[in-house]
Amino acid sequence: MAVTVTPQQLIEALRAGDRRALARAITLVENREPAGEAILQSLYPLTGNAFIVGVTGAPGVGKSTLVSALIDAYRQRGARVGVIAVDPSSPFSGGAILGDRIRLAGSRRDEGVYFRSLSNRGQVGGLSRATGDIIHVLDAAGFDVIIVETVGAGQSEVEIMRYAHTVLVLTAPGLGDDVQASKAGILEIGDIFVVNKADREGADRTASELRHMISLAPQGDGDAWKPPVILTVASTGQGIDDLVAAIEQHREYLKDRDTLARRRRQLVERHLGELVSERLLAALQRAAGDRWRQAVDEVVARRRSPADAVRRLLSDVDVLAGLAREAGSGGGDPVEA
């Protein structure tokens, strides 16, 4: 595309349903280009209408297949669906193979579905930030439901799932140990548990194990949400209507209890906190210059503890004066480590 378009033109086009403009805007946002920042800024007032569903679980349990079934179910109900498939695994080259699209029922053309694959580009915290920003773009573009798929393996997934209103945690029979292993972080973030591959032997047992574990989890007050366990066969669509009904119930629950507003406040607070630390760090590094590198050297050589080095940096009046100047100047990405 040799024509250059302004962020404003992109926004108008994507609001009018131009997918190419939407895709381009998402790229700019993901890459954190200045135009991307401008797009986010203009779109932000238009967000807040989408319902966001997170789907997580071990590789191979059927997340992508389930997402495809959910897309169909929501389309039948007239909702427009955006999907972000996040694959955080990538080798040192920084490259990635993103294969979640394979499960998308491929040949059907549908203007009401947008699907985007996202990889980890090695930035710490960058993946969940990018996911959150892309959710905003899809939200402003008018998608009613936004589904985020990610492998349930670590901190970044838990982070990403914070953006969701309803988190589905998937398991499948025959992963026995996996249910155990996933107990730690995953049990707390699940609003609905799905035992997929219910056509396989052991599904009922996996479901009752899950129910048992959920019953052992600390209970909230009387009307606190009790995560249901739903059995599905994602590849045939069996159980999907029950699942959509459960998601709907959770959505009602959130609305009634004002939990949505509270969650959103927490999210915004975290987001602002992240932005402030990121900007302050970048400003400090610029302001401190050699002194920053010196501090790193000293800790590497174990002449100082990290806390001591930081205390020294932050009590250096020259650094502080520079920081005040730099932080005020606004823009700028953190220095690459």
Ligand X SMILES: Nc1nc2c(ncn2[C@@H]2O[C@H](COP(=O)(O)OP(=O)(O)O)[C@@H](O)[C@H]2O)c(=O)[nH]1
Where on the chain is the footprint of other proteins (CB under 8 A)? 1-2, 19-20, 23-24, 26-27, 31-32, 90-91, 93-99, 101-102, 106-107, 109, 114-117, 119, 121, 333
- Cα distance between residue 195 and residue 203, in whole Å: 7
On whether the CB atoms of residues 267 and 52 are closer than 8 A, the answer is: no
* C-beta of 93 vs 215, nearer to other proteins: 93
Which residues from 52-71 bind Mg ion, rule CB under 5 A? 63-64
User: Minimal distance in Å, beta carbon 62 to ligand X?
Assistant: 3
Residue 1: other Cβ atoms inside 10 A: 6
Give the sign of the dihedral formed by CA 182, CA 271, CA 333, CA 308.
Answer: negative
Token pair for residue 303? Answer: 């002449």
Position 60 contacts ligand X (CB under 6 A): yes
In terms of phi and psi (left: phi > 0; alpha: psi -120 to 50; beta: otherwise), the region of 17 is: left
- Cα distance between residue 21 and residue 35, in whole Å: 13
User: Minimal distance in Å, beta carbon 86 to ligand X?
Assistant: 11
**Residue 191 interacts with, from ligand X, other proteins, Mg ion, none (CB under 5-8 Å by kind):** none
User: Minimal distance in Å, beta carbon 151 to Mg ion?
Assistant: 7
Residues 281-300: x where in contact with ligand X by CB under 6 A, - otherwise, as a string: --------------------
The CA-atom distances, in angstroms, between 41 and each of 140, 141, 151, 255, 279 are 11, 14, 30, 27, 17
Position 100 contacts Mg ion (CB under 5 A): yes
| DSSP string of 53-88, one letter each residue | EEEEESTTSSHHHHHHHHHHHHHHTT--EEEEEEE-
On whether the CB atoms of residues 196 and 60 are closer than 8 A, the answer is: no
User: Minimal distance in Å, beta carbon 128 to other proteins?
Assistant: 17
Position 196 contacts ligand X (CB under 6 A): yes
Residues 90-109: x where in contact with ligand X by CB under 6 A, - otherwise, as a string: -------------x------
Residues 7-46: x where in contact with ligand X by CB under 6 A, - otherwise, as a string: ----------------------------------------
Q: Which residues bind ligand X (CB under 6 A)?
A: 57, 59-65, 103, 196-197, 199-200, 233-235
